[in-house]
């Protein structure tokens, strides 16, 4: 980044299409990592992080009266984005017994008829759910039958544990006909503040998104595009080291929560532990008690949607000693 920021030619207005080097690098990553061939010219466009892309995709594809199907619990922009576009977000509850996948057969016919977008996200925030079956194929089938655009938020594809490797949605046969994937460098390379990502997939959809963005922002700082190339083309050892750190923290936290009698499964992906609150508590009451009496901040599951009620989310992005201390304080609280 420093080297490229020192070059005067990276300070001009960028093109919204992105530098050739950036698009080639994303295409190379998709081929190496996911076995997915994408055309760097027509099927990739840079975005200023996944959040920007998710918010703007609503403006690109939704009209008032349309429905956007949103994973519940889910990243909040899956519901606020459609509202900003004048459309209606309809929650798709993620079912714990289905590995935190939605039951697509439970979507009412009138909702499916009005649906234009469907937001999916695996590895999942906040539940830690991952794809281990043919769910993406069923999502493609649903999208074809109901003329829905699937947007798969792939922000956590590289943050996985226990040897699990997350697939790209685009590796599913037919996926590129019906959808897009939003890829982000934020979590994989600890670049959250840099705002680098890419929208990858169906060429017509990518083009529509590009058209919208030419009227909203002026592209990604070119030095950042080159820094992103360096990250994507690197040997990925740093990512493996980081996942090992998160996995150690996950195990510490899961062991501590289980010792307290809380029901929790060790997640195979993402950077959160999703735990059921003790009997008799709600998400909000347990969150408040943990804050007031143990001075530890956890997130109430209900903040991510109605289906998150009864859970709290705990983040693994805390130094080991702080995480240990938080676990101990919560344990004392539950014991008392």
Ligand X SMILES: Cc1ncc(COP(=O)(O)O)c(C=O)c1O
Q: Which residues bind ligand X (CB under 6 A)?
A: 49-51, 75, 121, 125, 153, 155, 184, 186, 192, 197
Q: How far apart are CA 176 and CA 43, in angstroms?
A: 9
Going from the C-alpha of 70 to that of each of 49, 75, 76, 150, the distances in angstroms are: 19, 9, 9, 10
DSSP codes, 86-127: T-EEEEEEEEGGGTSEE-GGGS-HHHHHHEEEEEEESSPTTT
By beta-carbon proximity to ligand X, the closer residue of 112 and 188 is 188
Question: Among 17, 5, 39, 32, which Cα is nearest to 234's?
Answer: 32
Q: For residue 199, which phi and psi values (nearest 5 degrees)?
A: -100, 125
By beta-carbon proximity to ligand X, the closer residue of 155 and 275 is 155
Q: For residue 183, which phi and psi values (nearest 5 degrees)?
A: -105, 140
By beta-carbon proximity to ligand X, the closer residue of 43 and 153 is 153
The alpha carbons of the chain give a radius of gyration, in whole angstroms, of 20
Query: Helix 77-84 vs helix 50-61: angle between axes, to the nearest 10 degrees?
Result: 40
Please, what is the minimum distance in Å from the beta carbon of residue 336 to ligand X?
33
Please, what is the minimum distance in Å from the beta carbon of residue 279 to ligand X?
29
Please, what is the minimum distance in Å from the beta carbon of residue 47 to ligand X?
8
Please, what is the minimum distance in Å from the beta carbon of residue 71 to ligand X?
9
By beta-carbon proximity to ligand X, the closer residue of 219 and 334 is 219
By beta-carbon proximity to ligand X, the closer residue of 224 and 294 is 224
By beta-carbon proximity to ligand X, the closer residue of 52 and 226 is 52
Supply 308's token pair: 């998150």
Going from the C-alpha of 1 to that of each of 25, 97, 190, the distances in angstroms are: 16, 44, 14
Supply 51's token pair: 């959040």
Please, what is the minimum distance in Å from the beta carbon of residue 85 to ligand X?
18
Please, what is the minimum distance in Å from the beta carbon of residue 323 to ligand X?
18
């Amino acid at each position: 980044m420093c080297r490229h920021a020192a070059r005067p030619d990276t300070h001009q207005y960028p093109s919204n299409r992105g530098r050739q080097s950036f698009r080639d690098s994303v295409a190379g990553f998709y081929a190496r990592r996911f076995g997915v061939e994408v055309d760097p010219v027509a099927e990739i466009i840079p975005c200023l992080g996944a959040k920007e892309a998710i918010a703007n995709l609503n403006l690109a594809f939704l009209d008032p009266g349309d429905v956007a199907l949103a994973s519940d619990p889910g990243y909040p922009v899956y519901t606020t984005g459609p509202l900003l576009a004048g459309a209606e977000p309809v929650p798709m509850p993620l079912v714990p017994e289905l590995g935190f996948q939605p039951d697509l057969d439970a979507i009412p016919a009138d909702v499916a008829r009005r649906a234009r977008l469907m937001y999916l996200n695996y590895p999942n925030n906040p539940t830690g759910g991952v794809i281990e079956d043919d769910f993406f194929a069923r999502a493609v089938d649903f999208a074809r039958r109901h003329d829905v655009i699937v947007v798969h938020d792939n922000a956590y594809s590289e943050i996985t544990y226990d040897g699990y490797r997350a697939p790209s949605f685009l590796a599913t046969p037919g996926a590129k006909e019906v959808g897009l994937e939003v890829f982000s460098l934020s979590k994989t390379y600890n670049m959250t503040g840099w705002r680098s990502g890419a929208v990858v997939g169906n060429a017509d959809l990518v083009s529509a998104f590009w058209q919208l963005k030419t009227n909203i922002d002026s592209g990604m700082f070119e030095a950042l595009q080159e820094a992103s190339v360096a990250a994507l083309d690197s040997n990925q050892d740093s990512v493996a080291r980081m996942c090992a750190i998160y996995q150690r923290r996950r195990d510490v936290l899961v062991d501590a929560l289980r010792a307290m009698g809380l029901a929790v499964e060790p997640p195979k992906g993402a950077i959160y532990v999703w735990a059921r609150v003790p009997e008799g508590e709600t998400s909000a009451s347990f969150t408040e008690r943990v804050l007031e009496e143990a001075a530890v901040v956890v997130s109430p599951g209900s903040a991510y949607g109605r289906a998150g009620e009864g859970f709290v989310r705990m983040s693994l992005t805390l130094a080991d000693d702080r995480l240990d201390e938080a676990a101990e304080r919560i344990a004392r609280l539950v014991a008392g």
